[in-house]
Amino acid sequence: MHSSLARFFIDKAASDFEPAGMYTHATDAGWISRTHRAIAPFRLQQPTTPSEVVQALIESEDSSIIAGGIDLVRRMRSGNSQDTLIDLSAVSGLREIEDHAGFIRIGALATHWDVETSPLLAARLPAFQAAWKTIGNVRIRMTGTVGGNLMAAERAYDGPVLLGVSGAKLVFLTDGGEVKIAASDGAGSYPSRALLTAIEIPVMPNAQLGFDRTLKPVVSVAVGLVDQDVSVGVGCAHISPFFWSGKVSEVEAALASALPEPIDNPMGSAAYRRRMVTVLARRLIRHLHEGDAS
Ligand SMILES: Cc1cc2nc3c(=O)[nH]c(=O)nc-3n(C[C@H](O)[C@H](O)[C@H](O)COP(=O)(O)OP(=O)(O)OC[C@H]3O[C@@H](n4cnc5c(N)ncnc54)[C@H](O)[C@@H]3O)c2cc1C
């Protein structure tokens, strides 16, 4: 259940100290590239149930969950220290991809590879699966998790945009119980000190999904279409993803006027980003109407 990166990281910590369920890792920097700082000492907890994870989060304000470890280890190598890491790999029930009445439930610990190779998603949400397959390279897809992609809250990541326009709900376990948040509400609405346990994606026979990431990292656009109702998700162009929904006929004018001022930098001007959002959204809708989701 461990990704290789997280496994390496955890084994390194465990090999240095007694196996008492919680370890302290003292770094010597010898195994870290000179371009990175030594990872500061941390304590490792390995809970076995979702409730224990939440308990560990509550007990230490300076603790972080580690799933595949891609983002977290990068941040720690850049000098971000953590008192405690809460490793999810011993928690069962967080990786399954299941068919429920009207929705598919993807466990937060499912890797991108699990999504890419799931026969259930191929049968029930093929466009979603095809779009998710474009994330990263194969090494990232084997290691990175769906939950880590969302909870990293990086503006260029594709997960939040794809799930937002798919009408997905994010299921969190907090110390007050289970909380469900619409993915399109964005990272600002995620409960604090909570474990993301799963993502629920509705399955509707007439729902379509299109995704264009050809202009990343300047802008990416995802479109969810149900008959004449459209949801547009915009990635990379703002500090966090932007979502708009309305009628197909309104896209040209209403989307453009609702769009907050995009980032303006040497990679792309705000005006260019603004223009491309509408162009890509309109093109995706046309392709979907013509039966071509790519
Ligand atoms: C070279 C490269 C290319 C990439 N390309 C893309 C791309 O094209 N598109 C894209 O979208 N992404 C891309 N990524 C990002 C990649 O998808 C994410 O880094 C990965 O999904 C993170 O998952 P993880 O399990 O490693 O997260 P971790 O590093 O383990 O965790 C990330 C953050 O989420 C928190 N967290 C993790 N799981 C949970 C949970 N269940 N509940 C609460 N908090 C949690 C952690 O505390 C941490 O803050 C790329 C990354 C790299 C390095």
- Closest-CA residue, ligand 1 atom 41, reads 196
* Cα(112) to centroid(ligand 1), Å: 10
What is the spatial distance between Cα 19 and Cα 198, in angstroms, rounded to a whole number?
30
- Identify the residue whose tokens are 């500061």: 40
Where are the domains positioned within the chain?
Answer: 4-87, 97-202, 207-289
Distance 70 CA to ligand 1 centre (A): 6
CATH code at 207-289: 3.30.390.50
Cα(149) to centroid(ligand 1), Å: 4
Cβ(212) to ligand 1 under 6 A? Answer: no
Question: pLDDT, tens digit, for every residue of 206-228?
Answer: 999 999 999 999 999 999 999 99
Distance, CA of 128 to CA of 116 (rounded, Å): 9
Confidence of residue 161 (pLDDT cuts 50, 70, 90): very high
Q: What is the CATH number of domain 97-202?
A: 3.30.465.10
| Position 6 confidence tier, pLDDT thresholds 50, 70, 90 | low
Count of alpha carbons within 13 Å of 100, Cβ hemisphere only?
Answer: 12
Look up the pTM and report it. Answer: 0.89
